[in-house]
Structure 1
Amino acid sequence: MAGTATFRATLARATRLARIALAGPGIWRGLGIYAVVLGLSFVGVWVSVRLIAWNKAFYDALEQLDAGAALHQIAVFFGLVALSASCWLAADWLKKKLLILWRAQLTARALDLWIGNRAYWLMRPGFGATPVENPDQRVAEDCRLFVERLIEFTLDLVSEVVSLVSYVTVLWSVASFTLALTLFGVGIEIPRYMVWLAPVYVVIATAITHALGRPLKRQYFDRERVEADFRHALVQLRDRADAVAQSGGEAAERHRLDIRFAAVAANWSALMRAELVQGLFSRPYMQTVLRLPTIFALPAYFAGAVTLGGLMQLSSAFSNVTTTLSWFIFEYKKLAQFVAVCERLDGLFQAAATPAPLPAAPRAIRREVSADGALRLEGVQLATPGGTWLDRVPDRVIRPGRVFLITGASGQGKTTLLAAIAGLWPWGQGRIERPAGRFLFLPAGAPVLGDGLAAAACHPEDPARHDSARIGAVLSRLGLAPRLAAPQGEAALAGLSMGERQRLGLARAVLNRPDWLLMDEATSALDPAAEADLLAWLRAELPETTLIIVAHRPPLGVTADDVLRVGPPDTERKSA
């Protein structure tokens, strides 16, 4: 029952994912390539059937010492090999074209769900009810593996069915003799015993293989997870290089990496054991499946029912039937991996399609469009994703073009309120009436977004939409001109200080020219003189933009038209 349920679940997941991969404007192109590859596989089946007949003709020529016939069969053999190799190479090339076509479609859908639904934000650990670990690995690796195995397995199954019919037909015609034996004093005759022996032999072997290999699926699932965890930790070390070096944190980072790799090693050991157990049967089976047919056919040969050529033809036909029926055994490891990939990838798609919050988190914020262009906060009280309520936010009306300061002690929800105004934070209650217009959020920590200095300065817009001279002038005004002289790309962003990253954030604001600019500690790393200079310049560049600033102290260079204090007054006084 458990095996049937797993099969049905995997089939349902694979079907859902296959529909996504095949959909889109390139559906007929993909199906056309698939049909050509399938046709080439049928040619391969025909070559295999011809080689079975070739065995009889060649070995009969050897038995009869007919050199001319033997040479002719050698020429036929090389002709068949040339045809088989050509078909294989053409099919392999087309399968690779199909792989990237279907992978692109599947990856595009995964990115649409992951980014378009903001699942990347809502499903982080501690935010969502079903956090997805290592989504980057699932999108990058699992999409490739799924499409690769889908093409391989479906083509194999169709061609194996055709092959099986062809091989069984040949085996039926050549195994026309009867096996007579006595069992417990009872005479038994089995007509065409080689035909019936093949499926019985493979069914028993398949059952043994599945019983021994069932633990593999879980180990393959876990392997993808622990390998991705280890790679992610290495990427984090690269991204935090300055902080680790400045704090002398090499030992702590090494300890963290050792823990991640220990999980990799433990999974590897468990996988080794599972593969060894399964291999104790499958490996001997694979090495004997091509030899046993000759042994099984010897009674007919010794009885004079077949010639040497007939024996080789019979052995070849039986081998082809058993190897075709043994597809499940030979591909068991890949099938186990495919089951794990389907589970991981379908889990990502299902979770990202409808990101579910933690069950204790209220989502009762009403969002409306402002009729007069003002931003209104009425009865707003925010909560953490785990359901803990923050202090109620005082009601406010923020008029366009003003400078609005949000202040308060750390941990009282200033950044959370800014996220709610931006439309990101869904947890809480009350009403937020937001005007139309472009909003730009400069988050705390001044993360650098984009590849290269120009892309980072224009994000989220394409730098090609901006005049390069204007980009250069803005960056120079912010003291980033030396960065323009360096090689562009990722190298231009290496080693940016916090102050430089915040200056780059101000460049984003000036170049994007939003109607509403949300700044979360966006100048905290600048000295007072630089802050006053640059904020005055920002206001001059964006005179109509509404500035909503989160800061612990009044910013220099601009004057706040209104101040909203978040948190209880006593906390605010103690922190002052």
Structure 2
Amino acid sequence: MTVSKFRLFRDTSRRILALSMPYFRSDERWQARGLLAAIVALNLGAVYMLVLINDWNRVFYDALQNKQADVFWHQLSRFALLAFAYIVIAVYKFYLTQWLELRWRAWMTRHYLDRWLANHLFYRLELARYAEGAAHQAPPDNPDQRIQEDVNLFTSLTVSLSMGLLNAVVTLASFVGILWSLSGNFAFSLGGSDYNIPGFMVWMAVLYCVAGSVATHYIGRPLIGLNFGQKRYEADFRSHMGRVREYSESIALDLGSPVENENLKQRFGRLMANYIALIKAQKRLVWFTNFFGQAAVVFPFIVAAPRFFSGAIQLGELMQIASAFDRVQGSLSWLVDNYDSLASWRATSDRLTTFEENLTHAQAVPEGLRTELGDDLQIDQLSIQLPNGQPLLAPSSAHARAGQKVLLQGPSGSGKSTLFRTLAGLWPHAHGTLSQPQRVMYIPQKPYLANGPLRNTLAYPDAASTYDDEALCEALCQAQLPHLCTELDREDAWSQKLSGGEQQRLALARVLLKRPAWVMADEATSALDEDTEQLLYQRLVALTQSQGGGLVSIAHRPELARFHNTRWRLEEVSSAPRRFRLVSESI
């Protein structure tokens, strides 16, 4: 059991160190190391001031006991200087610590955003949720929370806890010698023999704090798992409310409010149940830590009182012993005082390390699909699987040259949209060779419309400044949206503001604005009336012909066949499980 706990501690330490070190080795390493060195120096300075104040206690209280007014007033002026120096150190220690936390959080946030959004990892991590029985670790829940909240907590808690531990160690090293020299020897007889324990107060402080730390660990250990779970339940609850807001119209039309209300209440119920368990665990810990802290106030006086009443020490020395004991006991009680924060830090660190491991795994997974750029669209021995490993597309080959207009069709569930994602280079569960044309745009059935000014939404992902108002308005008019020409600077939630047909026309306006050579559309006009659909297809065909490219579209309406000269048909070759192959034919 001890060996396994040691290995767990060692592995956890390595993972946390792996999270922490990249920032201090980054391009900001000199600023980071400089801030850290300054904070360490200020912590050492603060401990040194406490040593001076501890010595001041002895002189000051002796002056009170001996009624030495001149010494009393002199020591008050000395205390003012010591206190002022300590305040200056404390203020700048706080200020520089906040700056280090801020800069570290900013760097880690940028670092994880770059990795999460690179090479479509954010998409692949979501797909991995459906990979039943996959050998790799389950994908992380709520990556947004891990980047936004967990990074913030990790940096702030790491800095505060590490500096607190450093301060405790330095304080212990500084005051243990003082307490040893002041505490004297403890002599007692047992079984006819005389015993003498030097530095008795030090040993009492060690015994007191070791007992308290062990008890705190066993009382507070459940907090680690409960904190981890609380963060997950909070994020799940918030995420589902966001989905209700995003799909508000569909839910309202389906009269799904009672169902969503029940789903949210269930998630909130799990959140509250975990929170109640967390509160109860914290209550037990608070009971003990407060008892431990209050007992520590009088403990040194109880132990040192016999020497004071016997006249062996004066009041000033008694107060110095109490002050030194408080510093030593406070240093040794660092675990007791910070266990709740440590539990939260451990849970946050675990969430970030699992996120880091999943990102690393996703980056390291070899690509089964070999992709290259060319003038045409060509697939060679392309096979596709579902995330759970079930085959979907048998090895197939096809070629679409410039000037061709391909209509992709097949029965429901045959994998048309999955093939579309594969042609876009998004689908990770594919093998074979894919040659993608240059200057290509993909239009999904439900386009993404960013919130903000309409000109930004129309130009997305390009900068709106790339296009003048005349070009933007012309694209809107070609997409049958002339009424939006006066709305270019209006900020709105366009996915909520526009109807389904308007959203699809806005996505087509993007294509007409940017004028790619190749266009690949997945049911991109399914929400349009027949006349508007045919008009926009005419413009898409004209666009691709003028740019020397081609068109690949998924569509169910038979009327659209006349805009294409080639059909790629998904033909079923196996029914259990359903498996298809791609067949190319002329229209």
With normalisation by structure 1, the TM-score equals 0.92
Partner of 1:258: 265
Partner of 1:157: 165
Distance 1:108 1:237, change over 3 A: same
Matches within 5 A, 1:262-273: 262-273=269-280
Partner of 2:411: 409
Partner of 2:321: 314
Cα distance in 1, alignment partners of residues 73 and 80 from structure 2: 11
Moved more, 93-102 or 132-141: 93-102
Q: Verify the 8 A CA contact 2:153 2:348 in the aligned structure 1.
A: yes
DSSP 3-state at the match of 2:297: coil
1:566 aligns with 2:567: no
* Counterpart pick for 1:171 among 179, 184, 194: 179
Distance 1:227 1:183, change over 3 A: farther
CA deviation digits over 1:298-327, x for unaligned, max 9? 122122221011100111011101101111
Partner of 2:245: 238
* Counterpart pick for 1:126 among 124, 127, 130: 130
DSSP 3-state at the match of 2:205: helix
Cα distance in 2, alignment partners of residues 368 and 482 from structure 1: 39
Cα distance in 2, alignment partners of residues 380 and 93 from structure 1: 58
Cα distance in 2, alignment partners of residues 353 and 364 from structure 1: 14
- Displacement of 1:204 in angstroms is 1.5
Partner of 2:333: 326
Q: Verify the 8 A CA contact 2:121 2:363 in the aligned structure 1.
A: no
Q: Verify the 8 A CA contact 1:20 1:109 in the aligned structure 2.
A: no
DSSP 3-state at the match of 1:568: strand
Cα distance in 2, alignment partners of residues 492 and 413 from structure 1: 29
Cα distance in 2, alignment partners of residues 356 and 126 from structure 1: 18
* Counterpart pick for 1:17 among 16, 19, 43: 19
Cα distance in 2, alignment partners of residues 52 and 519 from structure 1: 77
Structure 1, unaligned stretches of length 5 or more? none
Cα distance in 1, alignment partners of residues 233 and 81 from structure 2: 49
Larger strand proportion of the pair: 2
Cα distance in 2, alignment partners of residues 389 and 356 from structure 1: 23
Matches within 5 A, 1:182-331: 182-183=189-190, 186-331=193-338
1:369 aligns with 2:377: no
Distance 1:570 1:228, change over 3 A: closer
DSSP 3-state at the match of 1:118: helix
DSSP 3-state at the match of 1:42: helix
Cα distance in 1, alignment partners of residues 25 and 483 from structure 2: 47
* Counterpart pick for 2:351 among 344, 347, 354: 344
Cα distance in 2, alignment partners of residues 140 and 366 from structure 1: 33
CA deviation digits over 1:50-80, x for unaligned, max 9? 1111211221121122233223322332332
Q: Verify the 8 A CA contact 1:294 1:315 in the aligned structure 2.
A: yes
Distance 1:186 1:452, change over 3 A: farther
Cα distance in 2, alignment partners of residues 274 and 424 from structure 1: 45
Matches within 5 A, 1:544-563: 544=547, 545-554=549-558, 556=560, 559-563=563-567
DSSP 3-state at the match of 1:440: strand
Partner of 1:537: 539
- Displacement of 1:436 in angstroms is 4.5
With normalisation by structure 2, the TM-score equals 0.90
Partner of 1:147: 155
Cα distance in 2, alignment partners of residues 291 and 426 from structure 1: 66
CA deviation digits over 1:109-153, x for unaligned, max 9? 222222214221122220474221111111111111111112112
Cα distance in 2, alignment partners of residues 208 and 17 from structure 1: 30
Partner of 1:469: 470
- Displacement of 1:514 in angstroms is 2.8
Moved more, 534-543 or 239-248: 534-543
CA deviation digits over 1:446-472, x for unaligned, max 9? 232464422222222222323343223
Backbone CA RMSD of aligned residues:
2.6
Number of aligned positions between the proteins: 565
Partner of 2:101: 99
Which letter does structure 1 place at the counterpart of 2:140?
V
Q: Verify the 8 A CA contact 2:230 2:275 in the aligned structure 1.
A: yes
Cα distance in 1, alignment partners of residues 223 and 542 from structure 2: 65
Distance 1:493 1:297, change over 3 A: same
* Counterpart pick for 1:379 among 365, 368, 381: 381
Q: Verify the 8 A CA contact 2:382 2:394 in the aligned structure 1.
A: yes
* Counterpart pick for 1:354 among 361, 371, 380: 361
DSSP 3-state at the match of 1:207: helix
Cα distance in 1, alignment partners of residues 482 and 364 from structure 2: 41
Cα distance in 2, alignment partners of residues 140 and 428 from structure 1: 32
Cα distance in 1, alignment partners of residues 441 and 330 from structure 2: 62
Partner of 1:440: 441
Q: Verify the 8 A CA contact 1:382 1:392 in the aligned structure 2.
A: yes
Matches within 5 A, 1:465-544: 465-478=466-479, 479=481, 481-482=483-484, 484-485=486-487, 488-542=490-544, 543-544=546-547
- Displacement of 1:378 in angstroms is 3.1
CA deviation digits over 1:480-530, x for unaligned, max 9? 643753863344553221111111211222233333221100010011111
Matches within 5 A, 1:424-435: 424-429=426-431, 431-435=432-436
Which letter does structure 1 place at the counterpart of 2:503?
R
Q: Verify the 8 A CA contact 1:536 1:558 in the aligned structure 2.
A: no
Cα distance in 2, alignment partners of residues 370 and 120 from structure 1: 23
Moved more, 446-455 or 130-139: 446-455
Distance 1:247 1:287, change over 3 A: same
Which letter does structure 2 place at the counterpart of 1:567?
E
- Displacement of 1:356 in angstroms is 8.7
Which letter does structure 1 place at the counterpart of 2:231?
E
- Displacement of 1:221 in angstroms is 0.9
Moved more, 17-26 or 386-395: 386-395
Which letter does structure 1 place at the counterpart of 2:107?
Q
Q: Verify the 8 A CA contact 2:455 2:489 in the aligned structure 1.
A: no
Distance 1:546 1:290, change over 3 A: farther
Which letter does structure 1 place at the counterpart of 2:241?
L
Q: Verify the 8 A CA contact 1:442 1:522 in the aligned structure 2.
A: yes
Cα distance in 1, alignment partners of residues 514 and 73 from structure 2: 78
CA deviation digits over 1:345-379, x for unaligned, max 9? 01111111122999xxxx985425366x2222333
Q: Verify the 8 A CA contact 2:476 2:484 in the aligned structure 1.
A: no
Partner of 1:74: 76
CA deviation digits over 1:185-230, x for unaligned, max 9? 5433222211222212211211111122111111111111111111
Distance 1:16 1:341, change over 3 A: same
Moved more, 394-403 or 227-236: 394-403
CA deviation digits over 1:261-289, x for unaligned, max 9? 01111111221222223333222112222
Distance 1:488 1:21, change over 3 A: farther
Q: Verify the 8 A CA contact 1:452 1:493 in the aligned structure 2.
A: no
